[in-house]
Amino acid sequence: MTPPAVRHAFTYGTLRADYCESGDRWGVIQDHPTVKWTHGRLGGYACFQQKGLFYPFACRAAEVPAAFEAPPGGLRVVGTLLTWEDDGEWREALERMDPIEGYTPGKTGGLYERAVEVVQPTDAAGAPVGEPVPAYVYHQFWAKGSGSGAPDAVEYIQDGDWLQHTRRMPQ
């Protein structure tokens, strides 16, 4: 199998490298020691969480209902940019992340879709660092992510940072 040309994955939910002290919720980071990561920002998408679920979804700006006001600077999702240098580990990591996200290569209609988007690496404060890079992004279409398609079925994370949002929520 030829390694994919894209060598990055942008993660914004439970696959974030900073999800917990040891890495992501699923152990992808821990099981692939050559992965490097930095903070990152994806423009042109918005971040939501369907009520009652423990994970977020990103939705392309063109699909976001007008009821959700874009923040200053536009819609964005904040997360981590994962990079693998080792071809074998990159393939293994991608094969592991796909089923976590309910994605099957070559098929549509899974829980998430996977697209290549341009992601801006940032520092922890969100300032740009280096040049934007192409990265795989798992996203949902509005109707699937929101469940009913109704704006009141989701929580809008206006600043795009689901992890910080969940840490600010009352326990």
Average pLDDT value for the chain = 90
Q: Which two tokens stand for residue 67?
A: 């009821």
Q: Which two tokens stand for residue 79?
A: 């997360």
Please list, residue by residue across 88-122, b when 16 or more beta carbons sit within 10 angstroms of its beta carbon and e when fewer do.
eebeebbeebbebbebeeeeeebebbbeebebbbb
Which distant-in-sequence residues (6+ apart) come within 8 Å of 115 by Cβ?
Answer: 136, 137, 139
Q: Is the pLDDT of residue 2 over 50?
A: no
Is the pTM value of this prediction over 0.85? yes
CA distance 129 to 159: 19
Amino acid at 117: E
- Span 62-83, pLDDT tens digits: 988 888 888 888 899 999 999 9
Q: Which residue has the tokens 């977020």?
A: 56
